[in-house]
């Protein structure tokens, strides 16, 4: 943590390591003293690192990274290349079947957040298909899910219960419980699905 030449300082500066350290600490609602206890580094040193007054050595950075459960690569991603803000244009989206390689699928989906890095959720538009009830295959995944129906009528089966949804209805549920989607009628039926692991 000694003084570094200007050229090296400028090269490191573009990675905004201090800003990233501070952001991680605030996300954990952790004070400098608490972080000091976890890392064995003084609160004064941690403050200088966050303010960009000093650059950490790799062992020091690794010690801090372990507290936040991030890899060293988190700190060396060029801020200009990080997808903190991600715009996915309609014409750039690709449509996928819910289960590739099968004849009948309950829905087709388009990912709305595929360009973003460090995603905390997955969001997609689903177009529900007309499928016979006996062909439905319930599925489950960890986390929670929210579905907002944009248009059409949909029946959702969650566990042993059925829920009928109309346009502009929303449903939130524990997605570890088996669930399936079934379009009602011939009219188009689409919704936005958000899953959080």
Predicted confidence (pLDDT) per residue in 127-180, tens digit = 999 888 888 889 998 899 999 999 999 999 999 999 999 999 999 999 999 999
Q: What are the pLDDT digits (tens) for 27-61?
A: 888 899 999 988 889 999 999 999 988 899 999 99
The model carries a pTM of: 0.59
Q: Given CATH 2.60.120.10, say whether it is the number of domain 90-196.
A: yes
Domain residue spans in the chain? 6-76, 90-196
Cβ atoms 86, 122 nearer than 8 A: no
**Which CATH fold topology does 6-76 show?**
434 Repressor (Amino-terminal Domain) (1.10.260)
Helix (H) or strand (E) holding 190: strand 190-196
């Amino acid at each position: 943590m000694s003084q570094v030449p200007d050229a090296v300082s400028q090269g490191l500066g573009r990675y905004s390591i201090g800003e990233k350290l501070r952001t991680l600490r605030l996300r954990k609602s952790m004070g400098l003293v608490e972080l000091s206890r976890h890392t064995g580094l003084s609160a004064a040193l941690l403050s200088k690192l966050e303010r960009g007054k000093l650059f950490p050595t790799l062992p020091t950075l690794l010690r801090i990274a372990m507290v936040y459960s991030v890899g060293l690569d988190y700190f060396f991603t060029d801020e200009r290349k990080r997808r903190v803000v991600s715009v996915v244009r309609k014409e750039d989206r690709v449509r996928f079947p819910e289960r590739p390689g099968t004849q009948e699928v309950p829905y087709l989906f388009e990912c709305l957040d595929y360009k973003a890095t460090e995603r905390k959720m997955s969001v997609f538009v689903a177009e529900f298909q007309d499928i016979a009830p006996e062909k439905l295959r319930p599925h489950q995944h960890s986390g929670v899910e929210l579905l907002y129906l944009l248009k059409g009528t949909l029946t959702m089966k969650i566990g042993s219960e059925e829920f009928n949804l109309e346009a502009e209805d929303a449903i939130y549920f524990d997605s570890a419980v088996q669930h399936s989607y079934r379009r009602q009628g011939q009219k188009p039926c689409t919704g936005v699905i958000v899953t959080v692991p």
